[in-house]
Structure 1
């Protein structure tokens, strides 16, 4: 059903939304969406950095405890 909308249908929907909500409301809504996307990207980056840090911490000391006793 939605495959047949086309450009004229999308323009009509955009005009109806603009008339119903007004330019100011849509502008503020898009600003909030942008802030949400920015916060999401920051969260993903922080999560990746945390995973990399924990993996690096685990990979630092790979010497078995028995090998350290043999050296001493």
Structure 2
């Protein structure tokens, strides 16, 4: 009862083939998920790089009071 028989392995192989094999919807879904993960990782790598000078100033929009303070 504790060991897997040939029928157990056959069922497992059939289920895996149905889920991940062929041109099925699930295999396309897995491919899309992999592309999303890859794009996410590339985005994380790009966050470490800065495009302009890094002087500690945030690139967020400023309020009018902050703009006046910077003019002084």
Establish whether TM, by shorter chain, passes 0.5: no
- Bigger share in helix: 1
Question: Which structure would you say has the larger RCO, counting Cα contacts within 8 Å and 6 or more residues apart?
Answer: 1
TM-score by length of 1: 0.44
